[in-house]
Amino acid sequence: MRFIAFFVIIGEFSSCRQSRSGQFKLSDHSSCRELGIDNTGVICKWRFLFFFLSEDHKLFIGLWPAEEILASYCVSRPEMFRNKRIIELGAGYGLAGLALAACTDAAEVLITDGNPKVVNYIQKNCRLNAELFGKTKVSSEVLYWCKEPVPLDSEFDFIIAADCTYFKDFHLDLVHTIKSILTRTMTSEALLFCPCRGGSLFKFIEIAKSAGLAVAVKEVYDADIYKLHKEFLQAENTQWLNYDADHNYPLLISLTGMANVLTG
């Protein structure tokens, strides 16, 4: 199997813009359905670092805005993640995890996804960019969201994820997975960037609260990104003519096991 690589200078950021090219094959979606996983993160690629993509898949050369914004949020707050252990759930090709590992002094970054093929690509991306990670321990593995305790050896200070609440069928398993990780330490926090997507986000929040998690929702978490959001809504910025806040603008969701506190 051949792979293609892309490179863009670290730090380039084009939030709230989604461009697509190439094709998404039915076999990609079928593979995710067979594995019983959410496939939203599989069809994206960011202009960042070196990325391997399989030529067999011909995925969209673009990005779900939530993943890019998650990456920007993390790298713009290096002190928040210094010496911390972070796990990314449903990572797709792992943009946010790779960005965090390259641009902060995190102690550990574990990038996970439920699709073994995608995790294979993440591992290649990790090896390709290893020299950018400094002393940060970076790894990836397959992790399925489920109601059973998460089979992880480490405790984590932060859970990060983007656009992971679209499919309602996965809500309960995702909540159980997050809670299983959060309860390993009293100070852990989950940071999710997710658009509303027809109310699916708020249904997820209801399940999280019923599971005993404290939830905080933040609409304005970055002044520049929110300014772009308002410009797109009012058609003052013509770079994204079909902008739909319900699908394109993510809210920041903080989940903790003991207190309704939003970090950062």
Give me the residues paired with residue 141 across strands.
112
Q: Which residue has the higher pLDDT, 98 or 64?
A: 98
d(CA 191, CA 115): 22
Query: Is the Cβ–Cβ distance between 69 and 14 less than 8 Å?
Result: no
Q: Which residue has the higher pLDDT, 206 or 21?
A: 206
Query: What CATH superfamily is the domain 64-256?
Result: Vaccinia Virus protein VP39 (3.40.50.150)
Q: Which residue has the higher pLDDT, 75 or 147?
A: 75
User: How close are the terminal C-alpha atoms of the chain, in Å?
Assistant: 42
Instruction: Decide: pTM greater than 0.85.
Output: no
d(CA 193, CA 170): 16
Least confident window among 33-42, 150-159, 202-211: 33-42
d(CA 226, CA 210): 30
Strand bridging mode 49-54 / 108-113? unpaired
Residue 96 has pLDDT above 60, yes or no: yes
Specify the pLDDT at position 50. 56
d(CA 29, CA 33): 6
Per-residue pLDDT tens digits for 201-253:
999 999 999 999 999 999 999 999 999 999 999 888 788 888 999 999 999 99
pLDDT band for 258, please (50, 70, 90 cuts).
Answer: low
Per-residue pLDDT tens digits for 41-50:
433 333 345 5
Indicate the average pLDDT of the chain: 78
